[in-house]
Amino acid sequence: MIGWGVLGNATIARLAVVPAIERAGNGFLAAVGSRSGARAAALAQASGATAYDNYDAVLADPAVDIVYIPLPNHLHKPWTLKALAAGKHVLVEKPFALNATEARVMAAAAEAANKVLAEAAMWRYHPRSRRIRALVQAGELGAIHSLRAAFTFLARPRPENQRLFSAAMGGGSLWDVGTYAVGLARWILDEEPVAVTAQAQWHSEGVDLSLVGTLRFGSGALATIE
């Protein structure tokens, strides 16, 4: 059985990932760490996991084989590197990193540690997504000339979602949900863009409230993401 450790008390951890770990049948929640011991205990209690009032203790727990990191975006790289250095496999929330340089450093660290490092891109494993990709790759839809991917919702500043409106925390529409659209386009078409353009509407805090981009691929396909 795989022992899971969770860093933080994020909503996605409470409502989606921890229940999925418990239903999977091949693992268990071993430890939860939070800056608040009470919040960690609340998440850990139902599973009988150990609760810690810090993240480092989760990484030091020998019962933990893999660490799930749903922390704010700017913390993905440092805590991924710490987890790998502690000998843990890592599942990190999207976006994997804030830029390509960070991503390369994280990937190199995982390779050096001989550990699995993956982004929590759950949509890649949904039967619907896989069916669409299979149809495209098999040529069932003919040559793809245009693809549109959008993920939008109205976000208002609230204490619980301040990360969305903080440039320092890696907020903004592209890093929060635009990653789904960009990732889907690249994955469905199975190629990397050769040219990218984008326009955004900006919040006073320096994050993009909305963004529309185009990705041109070598095959001639043009993807619009929003």
94 is catalytic: yes
Query: Residue 76 gets which letter from DSSP?
Result: H
Give how far the C-alpha of residue 22 lies from the chain's centroid of Cα atoms, to the nearest Å: 20
How far is the C-alpha of 144 from the C-alpha of 93, rounded, in Å?
Answer: 30
Question: Which residue among the candidates 77, 82, 94, 115 is catalytic per the annotation?
Answer: 94
* C-alpha torsion 94→107→24→12, nearest 10: -20
Query: Residue 177 gets which letter from DSSP?
Result: I
Token pair 């929330």 is at which residue?
Answer: 93
How far is the C-alpha of 80 from the C-alpha of 82, rounded, in Å?
Answer: 5
Angle at 91 between CA 38 and CA 178, to 5 degrees: 100
Please tell me whether residue 155 adopts helix, strand or coil conformation. coil
What φ, ψ does residue 9 adopt, rounded to 5°? -120, 40
How many Cα atoms occupy the beta-carbon half-sphere of 48 within 13 Å? 4
Peptide linkage before 95 cis (omega within 30 of 0): yes
Most distant CA pair in the chain, distance? 55
Q: Which residues are catalytic?
A: 94
